[in-house]
Each structure stands twice: as structure tokens, then as C-alpha cells.
Structure 1
Amino acid sequence: MGTVDNVCMVGSEPLRERLVGAGVDMLEEVGAGQLGLRAITRAAGVSHGAPRRHFPTHRALLAAIAARGFADLIERFAKVEVGASTPREHLERMAAEYVEFAGERPEMFTLMFRHDLLEGSGENLRGITLPLFERFATLVAAAAPTAIDPRAVAIALWTNLHGIAALQANRSLRLVGPATSTPALVSQILALHLA
């Protein structure tokens, strides 16, 4: 494989996508802390200098991997939205999906919220997360129309759900609530915040 192939394309897949894909594939196995640039380039089948054009820093590559995680989560949210007849039902499905995502892909979930690793990466993750939260806040306002401050309710609900998701990601949730299903727990949390 020539140098031009390494820099521009590897096979028919663009180098940037191949590197991100290799990182995504490795992430659950090794964790973000051990996800090194050399290991990713080796898995992608390119020299360790090849990614510099697309990812000037290791942090930039990690942020692109995290962006792929957000894209996957958003896609999952879109799927559960189909068939939801009320904002409350949509919120409940979205919240359950969030917690399930954390349990199924704990390392990705953890990386997505590691702002200490991702800030200043050049990837506009705020451009992904802020509209996502705004959609969530809009659903909360529609599901709790009598709330004095729907945005405060949305923040409280999201932080509660994020805590549950973090417990799910690090396998602690099953220790404190082994008999509680995710949908039942999410339903109880929504009942507390949207009452």
C-alpha cells in the first residue's frame, strides 16, 4: 500500500472513517484511557503518522470516536420516538434507551462525557449535545405543562437519569437494585420529576 493510500484512502473507505471505526471497535475492549493512537493506527492498517492530517492530536481522534457514540445514541432515540403517542411516553422511551445504551456500551458512554479528555479537540461536541438536551427539555415542558420552571425540571430529570446511566455503565446499578428493570426504574424517576 503506497503513501498516498495511507493518507487519503485505505481500500475504498476514507482514512478518517477507518480510524474512527477502528477506535470505536476497540473502545469497549480497552477503555478510553488505554485507547492509544498507535493501537488504533495498527488496527486500521496504517502507519502511526498517517492520521495527523485528520487528527492532529490524540484528543481529536477520541472526540471523533465520542461523536460517533452520540450519533448512535441519537439514532436510537429516533427509533424509540416512532409510535410514542405522548411527550411523556416519548420521554420514557428516550430515558430507558439512554440507560440501556450506557449498560450496553459503557466505555463509549463514559468517553462521551469525559470533557477533560475531549475539550479543545476541535470536534464540536457541544453542537451535538446542546440540541439533544434542548429536545429533551422541550419534551419535559410538554409532559409537565404545569411545572413552574420546566427547564429546571428537565435539568433535574436529566441529571437523575445520567446518574442512573453512569451506575449502569459501571455495573453498580444491579448491586443496589438487582430486581428492578430499567423501564420500571425510568418510569419511577419520571413519575417523581413530572408529578
Structure 2
Amino acid sequence: MSAVDNVCMVASEPLRERLVGAGVDMLEEVGAAQLGLRAITRAAGVSHGAPRRHFPTHRALLAAIAARGFADLIERFAQAAAGATTPREQLQVMAAEYVEFAGERPEMFTLMFRHDLLEGSGENLRSITLPLFERFAALVAAAAPTADDQRAVAIALWTNLHGIAALQANRSLRLVVPATDTRVLVAQVLALHLA
């Protein structure tokens, strides 16, 4: 594809998607704190005022970028869990994907959970995150049917996994346990919570 064809294809993409795509592409390089509206519009090849119709605030654009991250993570979960036959196996592969996603896309992972930054954005990220957690809790309930409080187990497991993922995202995990395979660590955490 020639450069002219590429420019024409990008220009024909809906403006909202162009802006979100430019933000996603830039995020890992500059981080959410430095991901400015002007830089995104410049990368998308539009004027600084163009986003206002789709994103009335910078926060709204950041939330749409975070929503794309959640969509990518959910897709990873679906692909990883496709071959898993039991709820425990599904939890194992999904938990491993969660930690790996954080390590591979640390700025996206961090942005996705910056509720202080994204709250009130109008993107309604809870419509994505709450069903995702409910699915996780249902898998925990199926994997640990004899637990006294399955919801408490799900919350404890998720917070433990999120802690590992956050440490992976900010590169602290390898400083504390440099030789640990994250999949083994995730399996150990699941064994502790689902015993």
C-alpha cells in the first residue's frame, strides 16, 4: 500500500475512531499523563477543535481510549479461555492474560484503572467493567463451590491478581521476584484462593 493510499484510508476512517486510534498508538510511548489533546489531534491529522463533537473533554477521549483497552483485554480473555474446559482452567488462563496484558501494555493497563482520571467522562466504563467482574465472580463460584462466601473469594482473588498485574505494569515485580514466571505465580495465587 502506498503512502497516499494509507493517508486516504486513514482520512476515510470515522473521526471518533481516528482520534481513539491515535491515542491508543501514542499511549505506550508517552503515558496517560502526557497524552494531550493537541498531540492526539496532530497524530490523527485533524484540527485541534475537531474532537469537540465526539469528545467534549480531554477526559472523555481518555475514557474512550481506556474502553478500547478493555475491549482488547476482553478479546484476549476470549481467545485464551476458548480451549479451557473447566471454570478453574478458564480462571487460570484469564488471570495469566490479565498479568501479561499489564506487562505488555503498562500505560494502557494503568489508564484503564485510573478511575480518578476517567470518572465522569461520559463513556460509562462501568458497563464494561462490572459485567467483566461478574463473569470472573461466576467462574470463581463454579471453581470453588464449597467456599463459604464466594463473592469474598472473588474479590480477594481479583485484588491479589490486580496487585500482581500492577507490579508487572510498573516493572516492580521483576525487582522483587526476578526469576519468577508470572504464569506460575498466578497459578499459586489461584491455588491459595480456590483451595
Q: Aligned partners of 2:10 and 2:53: how far apart in 1?
A: 14
* Stretches (4+) displaced over 2 A: none
Partner AA of 1:48 in structure 2: H
SS state of the match for residue 111, structure 2?
helix
Q: Aligned partners of 2:105 and 2:84: how far apart in 1?
A: 25
**Unmatched segments (≥5 aa) in structure 1:** 1-8
Query: What per-residue deviation string (whole Å, max 9, x for no partner) do you get for residues 77-107 of structure 1?
Result: 0001111011101000000000000000000
CA apart distance, 1:182: 1.1
TM-score normalised by L of structure 2 = 0.95
Q: Is it true that 1:184 corresponds to 2:184 in the alignment?
A: yes
Query: What per-residue deviation string (whole Å, max 9, x for no partner) do you get for residues 17-68 of structure 1?
Result: 0000000000000000000000000000000000000000000000000000
Q: Which residue of 1 aligns with 2:139?
A: 139
Q: Which residue of 2 aligns with 1:69?
A: 69
Q: Aligned partners of 2:45 and 2:98: how far apart in 1?
A: 33
Trace 1:40-55 onto structure 2 (pairs within 5 A): 40-55=40-55
TM-score normalised by L of structure 1 = 0.95
Question: How many residues of Structure 1 are paired with residues of Structure 2 in the alignment?
Answer: 187
Q: Which residue of 2 aligns with 1:12?
A: 12
**Unmatched segments (≥5 aa) in structure 2:** 1-8
SS state of the match for residue 75, structure 2?
helix
Trace 1:16-165 onto structure 2 (pairs within 5 A): 16-165=16-165
Q: Aligned partners of 1:64 and 1:180: how far apart in 2?
A: 34
CA apart distance, 1:11: 2.1
Q: Aligned partners of 1:99 and 1:11: how far apart in 2?
A: 35
CA apart distance, 1:10: 6.1
Give me the identity figure in percent: 89
RMSD, aligned α-carbons: 1.0
Q: Aligned partners of 1:62 and 1:163: how far apart in 2?
A: 23
CA apart distance, 1:162: 0.2
CA apart distance, 1:179: 1.0
Q: Aligned partners of 1:10 and 1:46: how far apart in 2?
A: 11
CA apart distance, 1:126: 0.2
Query: What per-residue deviation string (whole Å, max 9, x for no partner) do you get for residues 82-135 of structure 1?
Result: 110111010000000000000000000000000111000000100000000000
